[in-house]
Amino acid sequence: MTDAVRRHDPAARGFASDNNAGVHPEVLAALALANGGHQIAYGGDDYTANLRDVFGLHFGERASVYPVFNGTGANIVALQPLLPRWGAVIAADSAHINVDECGAPEKLAGIKIYSVATPDGKLTPELIDRHAYGWGDEHRAQPSAVSITQSTELGTVYTADEIHAICEHAHERGMLVHVDGSRLANAAASLGVPLRDITTDVGVDVLSFGGTKNGLLFGECVVVLNPEAVRDIVYLRKMSAQLASKMRFVSVQFEALLGGDLWLRSASHANAMAKRLEAAVRDIDGVRLVRPVQANAVFAMLPPPVTERLRKRHRFYLWDEHTGEVRWMCAFDTTEDDIDSFADAIADEMSRA
């Protein structure tokens, strides 16, 4: 047997996704702490037992938590108990559940999605009402839930008041509210508020809470905030292939993330690097910033030849091939030097254009 060989440059950085970043050293240390010996599988371990207390500190004592493998799995598990078999969920047309999960909500959970075009990735009560009708019509999938993403796929952030208005509006119409919180930490850091201020305290029923984009090796959590409305998660998690046998290695990562202030330090740093990048490119001739920078994403418009050359030097995504819009993501390990080097490369390519 040969030893493992490092096959990448650990100094390499890019701006394609916060998923591309490595694992935070404190999380790696926690994984090592949980290793060794035997622990009961499928969530019977000591680390998972402690997780409810950890999440309770941030989301309230009524919150219950269910670790899963990934964000798509979290959304599928979280949405299923909100909907009858004939139910539908209302979401922004840019929502991850609508465009980035390969039809998993529809195929695996049988969920009908009513998507709404939004200018900034954010739903409002008025936008929700474009699909919130037809109850009692047997020919129409019944609107049963609203799903919002925090922060959104377009890098924007809902305020607590905005989410409260959505929850009140949905509940008045008999619908429940789900938050896809893969970047919830970034949103809370941006707003300068505790996690419960934009979830529990404003009426959210169930949350998909992200860790992978904020320094974890793998794993997300479904967090039930309204136990009267959301039941049977344990069965749905298993039948959705999201029950980890060695769950302690998911749970201990969230203990490291939420047991102290690691979640806030990491998210705040990623947000600050996005702000630094925004400032660094704002005055480069030919670069047009097209969306507000409110979390850890920067969206800009570049000439296609510049984008093509620049992507050979630094990884990032072409967000919209029709308009030329690009997306630059910052992570917990993005450095000021990374930002400055990237901005210099952008300026160099634009000068050649």
Q: Please compute the mean of the pLDDT values over residues 7-23 and round it to a whole number.
A: 93
DSSP category for residue 331: -
Q: Which long-range contacts (CB under 8 A, 24 or more apart) does 103-110 make?
A: 104/72, 104/75, 104/76, 105/75, 105/76, 105/79, 108/76, 108/240, 109/76, 109/79, 109/80, 109/240, 110/85
DSSP string spanning 166-196?
HHHHHHHTT-EEEEEETTHHHHHHHHT--GG
CATH class of the domain defined by 263-352: alpha beta
- Residue type for 164, please? H
Of the pLDDT bands very low, low, confident and very high (cuts 50, 70, 90), residue 2 is: low
Per the CB < 8 A criterion, the answer to whether 170 and 82 are in contact is no
Which H or E run includes 146?
strand 142-149
At 253-304, the pLDDT tens digits run 999 999 999 999 999 999 999 999 999 999 999 999 999 999 999 999 999 9
- Alpha-carbon gap, residue 161 to 167, rounded angstroms: 10
Whole-number pLDDT of residue 11: 86
Range list for CATH 3.90.1150.10 in the chain:
263-352
Percentage of the chain exceeding pLDDT 70:
99
Q: How far apart are CA 265 and CA 255, in angstroms?
A: 15
Which residue intervals of the chain bear CATH 3.40.640.10? 23-258
Cα–Cα dist 158/151, whole Å: 7
CA–CA gap between residue 49 and residue 246 (Å, rounded)? 13
Spatial distance between the Cα atoms of 149 and 94, rounded to a whole number of angstroms: 9
Q: What pTM did the predictor assign?
A: 0.96
User: Does domain 23-258 match CATH 3.40.640.10?
Assistant: yes
Tens-digit pLDDT profile for residues 80-116: 999 999 999 999 999 999 999 999 999 999 999 999 9
